Structure 1
Amino acid sequence: MASKGFFSHGLPPMSWELGACSGSGLTLSQLRFTIAFVASVAVGAILRHVPTVKGRHIFSLVAGFLLIYYPFGNGTFHALIPSLAAYVCMRRFRRSCGLLAWLVAFPYLILAHVMQASGAAWKEGQFDFTGAQMVLTLRLIAVAVSYQDGACPPGQLREYAARKRLLQLPSPLEFFSYLFAAGNLLAGPFFEAHDYKDYIERKGEWDESDPAKRIPNPLLPGLARFVKGCICAVLWMKLSQPYGADLLESKYFQQEVGLPHRLFLLWIVGLAARCKYYFAWAVAESSLIFSGLCYNGRNADGRPLWNRYINSRIRRVEFNASLPNLAANWNVCTGLWLRHYVYERLTPVDKRPTFATLAITQLISGIWHGLFPGYWLFFATSAIMFEAGKAIYRYEQGWPPRVRRFAPYVVLKVAFNALILNYAASSFIVLWLSDCLAIWRSVYYCGHLAILTIIAVGMVLPPRKPKRDVKPEKAAAAAAAGKVDGVEAAPAVPAVPVGMPVAPVLATAVEKKEL
């Protein structure tokens, strides 16, 4: 249960709220969060029609703060402490403000996790500001690092960092408007300060003087995404009671049913947990679509694209035939943050990433989620899981295409990947070390044995590299693009559900036109 200090005091409960809680089975914090979350869609729609740049900044900041304050109360003011500290660092110490923002924002988030025991509180349905603080931490680090990058020549930066760097210090209004952004702290997704500024000012890819960049009517795609979120919410409410974390911790699961039944229950419990995040992200995406921030230009046929900040693709997660590609489809935007602000920053420009780079990124992702063993067990397991996926991929490159695409083999891979994902994700759901180990022990550690066996076979019997007739100029172009044999060198780093509606993954090769 969340503590009852300054973090949790806010608006006293009203009679209609208590009645709604008793009728719906939701806790007060869940009810308020849901109301604020749905209201953020309307706020996004209004933001698109505010006529002036300053007006859009003010509306976004004020509405965003109120939407956060309603469910989280005085805990919202904790956003001001690391935010003000980061802004002072940006004003006074430009060439090191990115590092200083890390040293301010990340420890403050860890303190919030410790004070609230956030993971355990979220399992009980008690939401606090810590979830929003997680999103805020991503933004504080990103905006400070981007401003620090603005003092560097573009040639010293990776292509993405050169595009997203900030040449000028944001004003206090611009800075806090970006941080609160019309209630987007409720569930994300993460987006860059550079993009947000261009959107508010209708510049760059939102330049209203260019008909191709003018924001079209978002009504139908916004409603479609909102309905998608509502369907996921209904599934979550129907499945979470009979198939929640308590089931995995029960004697029934661990002792009274056979192995095939346990594996099935692992899958359906994982699906129920993921529906919560599908709901949260779909509604958040709906808000961004209605605001126009999610507008991503037009395709070759002239059809508007609304996929700039798509955070998950349900079919590609649930029916995934490649473990590494899972990362490109689950919490994509936070994954991009991990990629560009952790993974690539740990890798020298002229070097290839190593497993140590992957492990450190996973560790940071785990700490970002909270200080529970289940988080860390998942991220440690997922690092091995994706190494196994890469080993399978290397073997497949030596097979004829008709074998790789053979329908029964593809179905087998989808089933295997679902088994491994839900096996690993069970630790993220139950959190406590003893419960995690008891669940894995009840299925004989089959997930770990499977992925470790694949890696061991790949080391003992490495696959032969396929022979390819690659022209020198094409090989040089691939090397310059950071690819090996046509495949991007950087491995994927996923992360599964968080106690609040946000969780990170490190997406593979996801640029805006691929989202």
Structure 2
Amino acid sequence: MQFYFNIMVDLAGFVASKLGVPPEAFRLLLTLLAGYPIAAAYHKYVADRPKTLQHLYFALSGMGLCYYNYGTDTYHSLLAISVTFALVTVLRSKPLLLLIINFVFHMSYLLLGYYYTASNEYDILWTMPHCILTLRMIGFGFDISDGLRKEEELSKDQKETALRDPPNFLELLAFAYFPSSFLVGPQFPYRRYQSFTNGEFRQYAGYKEAGLKRLGAGVLYLAVCQAGLTYLPDGYFLSPEFAAQSFIKRIYFLGFWAKFSLYKYISCWLFAEGALMYLGFTYKGRDELGNADWTGCSNVKLKLLESGNTMQHYVQSFNVNTNQWVAHYVFKRLKFLNNRNISYGAALGFLAIWHGYHSGYYMAFLMEYMIVSTEKQIESVYTKQVLPKYGETLNNSKIYSIIYFFCLKSYNIVYMGWCLTSFVFLKYERWITVFSAVNYFGFIYMLIWACIYHGYRYYRKTQPREPRPSTSTKQD
């Protein structure tokens, strides 16, 4: 077996060298595309077999793909899954203790992995699928704990994911290593996997067509990504040539580079989503036309991504399942703090830690928090102060509509470049060089707005309030 794996690895390395791409990235691409023949084989040979055989098929397929990419480092994921199973077996009668130990173990193991393997680049090592596994096992621990609570204590979302009866070890392996999802996501609860293997989605049509469309979209986005990054490679933005460009060119070049860089992640998610659709795993319900909706595990909303014009639109359309996971298992469970801003900040802080130690991650999520908060402030001023006075005039002006669209699109492109810089360049010495090359415009414009906004609010508070007219009437 090892002999054949070595041949496949060497062959992929040879092809990758001819294409001029890193062998690890090429193997990752092959692994994502392998989800389609795995899905086809499942429908032909496995789908009508007993559930035990289905669990075995998914477990072995996923473990084989993991081994193809990471060799003996596969033991990290196997150990993590085994520990969770042991914790559930031993501590199921103590749900809070199970929850805490399971959470601490997985986050600690992942962070230790980052500590010993991290470099200056985005590494395609065993830690990449392990960060996906970490969320999956932590969420599984929450679902087991929720299953031990009284029904009336659970929220609507928790009722949909709570597990009353834990799976056996083979079922947990199949869930954790589920092909097309263990490498780059998407996340989903065990209850979805359970519904799929119970055959609850098989009656609905259109999953193969939906999967192939997603595959085509992935190929398109990957092609655009490769073409764009050929003209605007990462290293260009650290060079004197970039700093010598005019300011307008610099901020727009950075914005378009961010778009192309984003497409790298999007293409991977589209390949993974398409394979899950082709498998018939992603049923969501009926759409407005009554057809089966197969977007239940979509990690990117393409229409919103391309038509959106704010950072909030990016947040809503990008890495959707991970954001939903954080909302379900982190944000909503901090409701007891009674402060949405603190809960939102804690959720972003968790995401930053989950990504690793690089300062760029923390800066990226800090910028997301600051920019989304700023957008909400601007929207509030626009809807409460500007539209009531000038809304009719502005809405009837074609020139204003054109200017409004151009300004928002420009903001969308330019600030995406600013936000993604630290996330891609990771090390402080690298991303601060790019920030410096564009004159720190992201900080400056937000600071100017903060001064205007809070200064105006302070001014309003210091002004005497006009007395309200009396509504009472005096009767004779």
TM normalised by structure 1 equals 0.81
**Quick one: distance in 2 between partners of 1:175 and 1:15?**
32
Aligned residue identity for 2:112: L
**Quick one: distance in 1 between partners of 2:153 and 2:456?**
40
Residue of structure 2 aligned with 1:449, choices 444, 458, 466: 444
Contact 2:255 2:415 in 1 (8 A): no
Matched, 1:347 2:335: yes
Contact 2:28 2:69 in 1 (8 A): yes
**Quick one: distance in 1 between partners of 2:340 and 2:296?**
29
Deviation string 1:400-420 (CA, Å, 9 cap, x unpaired) is 566479453233123213222
- Taking every aligned residue pair, what percent have the same amino acid on both sides? 20
Matched, 1:110 2:98: no
Contact 1:347 1:357 in 2 (8 A): yes
**Quick one: distance in 2 between partners of 1:460 and 1:147?**
49
Matched, 1:182 2:171: no
Shift of 1:329: 0.5
1:228 alignment counterpart: 217
Deviates more, 1:159-168 or 1:300-309: 300-309
Q: Gaps (5+ residues) in structure 1?
A: 1-9, 209-213, 465-515
Q: How many residues in Structure 1 have an aligned counterpart in Structure 2?
A: 440
**Structure 1 residues 105 and 410: CA distance shift in structure 2, 3 A:** same
Contact 1:178 1:193 in 2 (8 A): yes
**Quick one: distance in 1 between partners of 2:40 and 2:451?**
53
Shift of 1:74: 1.2
Q: What SS does the aligned partner of 2:318 have? A: coil
1:475 alignment counterpart: none
Q: What SS does the aligned partner of 2:335 have? A: coil
Residue of structure 2 aligned with 1:60, choices 54, 58, 64: 58
Contact 1:154 1:162 in 2 (8 A): yes
Shift of 1:14: 5.6
Contact 1:59 1:182 in 2 (8 A): no
**Structure 1 residues 272 and 59: CA distance shift in structure 2, 3 A:** same
Q: What SS does the aligned partner of 2:292 have? A: coil
1:377 alignment counterpart: 363
Aligned residue identity for 2:419: A
1:300-379 aligned within 5 A:
300-348=288-336, 352-379=338-365
1:87 alignment counterpart: 85
1:14-25 aligned within 5 A:
16-25=11-20
**Quick one: distance in 2 between partners of 1:332 and 1:289?**
16
Shift of 1:266: 0.5
Aligned residue identity for 2:160: R
Q: What SS does the aligned partner of 2:294 have? A: coil
Q: What SS does the aligned partner of 1:345 have? A: helix
**Structure 1 residues 422 and 39: CA distance shift in structure 2, 3 A:** same
Aligned residue identity for 2:170: L
**Quick one: distance in 1 between partners of 2:310 and 2:17?**
43
Shift of 1:462: 4.5
**Quick one: distance in 1 between partners of 2:212 and 2:8?**
31
Shift of 1:139: 0.3
**Structure 1 residues 187 and 14: CA distance shift in structure 2, 3 A:** closer
Q: What SS does the aligned partner of 1:187 have? A: coil
1:265 alignment counterpart: 253
2:138 alignment counterpart: 141
1:6 alignment counterpart: none
1:120 alignment counterpart: 121
**Quick one: distance in 1 between partners of 2:296 and 2:66?**
24
In terms of Rg, which structure is larger? 2
Contact 1:135 1:185 in 2 (8 A): yes
1:156-305 aligned within 5 A:
156-203=153-200, 206=201, 214-254=203-243, 256-305=244-293
Shift of 1:279: 0.7
Contact 2:208 2:280 in 1 (8 A): no
Aligned residue identity for 1:229: G
Shift of 1:118: 5.4
Deviation string 1:136-158 (CA, Å, 9 cap, x unpaired) is 00100000111001111232222
> What is the root-mean-square deviation in Å for CA atoms of aligned residues?
2.2
Shift of 1:346: 1.9
Q: What SS does the aligned partner of 2:313 have? A: helix
Contact 1:374 1:436 in 2 (8 A): yes
TM normalised by structure 2 equals 0.87
1:510 alignment counterpart: none
Deviation string 1:389-430 (CA, Å, 9 cap, x unpaired) is 111221233225664794532331232132222111111111
Q: What SS does the aligned partner of 1:426 have? A: helix
Contact 1:48 1:292 in 2 (8 A): no
